[in-house]
Amino acid sequence: MRKPIIAGNWKMNNTPAEAKALIEELIPLVKDAKCDVVVCPTYVCLETVKKLIAGTNIKIGAQNMHWEEKGAFTGEISPKMLVAMGMDYVILGHSERRQYFAETDETVNKKTLAAVAHNLIPIICVGETLEQREAGVTADLVRTQTKAALKGLTAEQVKDVVIAYEPVWAIGTGRTATSADANEVIGIIRKAVEEDFGGEAAGAVRIQYGGSMNPGNATELMGMPEIDGGLIGGASLKAVDFSKVVNY
């Protein structure tokens, strides 16, 4: 049985003071969650949030990182630094990073290998644009992105990775894939994992749905057999909304 995992991607929102207020409101609302609960604040809020969640059931992740441990990479943060700050997870290859910051399948793969080598759990995002969906290449695209991201890992390592299927056209738009569509594409991703790493790894890897998941659609999405959780954007910025998704 795969334990569901709901993660909040705060994106570029919240000052440390706002993050403190949000997490303090959230802690009591999700304390009885049956799923793994993760929040992913900006780098500048990680320390504040990490301190506040001590002793709770909430885990913490960053939204990106570089693959090198250190060096002349102005503006970047390394896996070693995230580990030193006590991070558990790191989101990699979010479509906003692919779209606006030239993230490629190759860099996502380098980051995935670095995350796993440092015992950070990567939440690897894959998903198609509207044009790709309309061109009928969704399955090919998510298969390629998934296989490229995981290349070089062992089957044992793949079991602990988290993948997020986020159709780009459903991100921040209020549009959601139907639960049947999301379930089908996640099934395709799982099959791609099986082809490269075998049935045991594919059966263990957790695959989330992301893209305008909210209190109104979480129960239905989470009821689908292939969907193991959610990567939540806008709804993770309000403690009550995020807690309703977590307690779906």
- Kind and range of the H or E element at 206? strand 206-210
CA angle 225, 109, 43 (to 5 degrees): 85
Q: How many residues does the chain have?
A: 248
In this chain, which stretch among 13-21, 127-135, 142-150, 204-212 interacts with ligand 3PY, using CB under 6 A?
204-212
Active site residue 156: no
Chain residue at closest Cβ approach to ligand 3PY: 233
Least distance in angstroms from the C-beta of 26 to ligand 3PY: 17
**Which of 87, 150, 171, 193 contacts ligand 3PY by CB under 6 A?**
171
Name 61's Cβ contacts closer than 8 Å, sequence gap at least 6.
7, 38, 39, 40, 87, 88, 89, 90, 91, 120, 121, 123
Interaction between residue 183 and ligand 3PY (CB under 6 A): no
CA 21 to chain CA mean position, Å: 23
User: Number of residues in contact with ligand 3PY, rule: CB under 6 A?
Assistant: 12
Which residue of the set 96, 103, 128, 166 is catalytic? 166
C-alpha 242/C-alpha 20 separation (Å) is 15
Q: Would residue 166 show up in a list of annotated catalytic residues for this protein?
A: yes
Active site residue: 66, 94, 103, 128, which one?
94
In angstroms, how far apart are the furthest CA atoms of the chain?
A: 48
Q: Given the complex with ligand 3PY, which of 197 and 228 has the nearer CB atom?
A: 228
β-partners of residue 5 are 36, 229
The Cα–Cα gap between 171 and 168 comes to 5
166 lies in the site for ligand 3PY, by CB under 6 A: yes
218 binds ligand 3PY (CB under 6 A): no
The binding site for substrate comprises 9-11, 172, 212, 233-234
Catalytic positions: 94, 166
Q: Which residues bind ligand 3PY (CB under 6 A)?
A: 9, 94, 166, 171-172, 210-212, 231-234
